[in-house]
A and B are shown apart, each in its own frame.
Chain A
């Protein structure tokens, strides 16, 4: 590397390296793919089991998806933490944002079960916040669009109680908001070879 730097060259080095550092996030695609598949499957199972008892139709698929996703995410996160080559402060912000979203989700589900309300539309709208924000922080457009899709799907779900339409909207939002951005993000991560 050249040591006789002109101010222009110095500035170019600084801009290029800072840009690379800021784009070096942890690999988040795994979580979008995992939760996208698990939650879509839970919604489909809820729809297919809708004629059975409410406890089985509404409780079991979501409970299984939640526990399974929680365990897999924790194991994967622990492994990822051990092999991380870069520690970007934005990773922490994204992590805390999703953590606070999970707490909000648990509270809404618990309150909705007690009040016998369907939490689906509210949860779908709320899912838009961390999805949109993660997209903005990472400057990754598919997640930004994903957040917008969750907001739109959640809003439409408020105006219908039709189970088929709810399933279609929720699974569609999961596909466009989590799964497809997850696939695109995975491709980008493999290209950038981040942590």
Chain B
């Protein structure tokens, strides 16, 4: 039985954590992702950039109460990729 290949963009702990947080939400700020993932600012920025380059998330930069703010939301492409990844993982686990 052939297993579906796992999406290399999502098969990374931090990127997978970010996508898992964003998929059920409409949007989330950088600080929320930072707090929930427990990652460092630098690493999270890098992984968010990779997800953005892949078209899996949309990133909006703005000012909130006079401070720069980065908001992220999962794109339709990202949600589809996440669902395919979850299906593939379930296949590996025999689900």
Q: Tell me if chain B binds chain A.
A: yes
Interface residues on B, range: 20 to 34
Interface pair B28/A87, CB less than 8 Å apart = yes
Size of chain A's interface in residues, with CB distance under 8 A? Answer: 27
* Chain A residue contacts of B11, Cβ below 8 A: 3, 5, 10
The B15-64 residues at the A interface (CB cut-off 8 A) are 16-17, 20-29, 31-32, 35-37, 39, 43, 64
Q: How far apart are the CA atoms of A17 and B10 in the complex, in Å?
A: 14
Check A22 for interface membership: any CB of B closer than 8 A. Answer: yes
A-B CB contacts (within 8 Å), total count: 88
Q: How far apart are the CA atoms of A5 and B92 in the complex, in Å?
A: 12
Q: How far apart are the CA atoms of A158 and B80 in the complex, in Å?
A: 53
* Chain B residue contacts of A16, Cβ below 8 A: 17, 20
- Since A1-B13, A10-B6, A17-B37 are in contact, a sample of 12 more A-B pairs with Cβ atoms closer than 8 Å, ordered by chain A residue number, is A11-B93, A14-B16, A17-B16, A17-B20, A24-B32, A85-B28, A86-B27, A87-B26, A87-B27, A88-B24, A88-B25, A193-B35
List of 4 A-B pairs having minimum Cβ-Cβ separation, nearest first? A17-B20, A7-B92, A1-B13, A87-B26
B residues with CB within 8 A of A: 6, 11-14, 16-17, 20-29, 31-32, 35-37, 39, 43, 64-65, 85-86, 89-90, 92-93
Can you show 17 pairs from A to B with CB atoms below 8 A apart? A1-B37, A2-B13, A3-B12, A9-B13, A10-B16, A11-B89, A14-B86, A17-B37, A18-B21, A21-B22, A21-B25, A21-B28, A21-B36, A24-B32, A83-B64, A86-B25, A88-B24
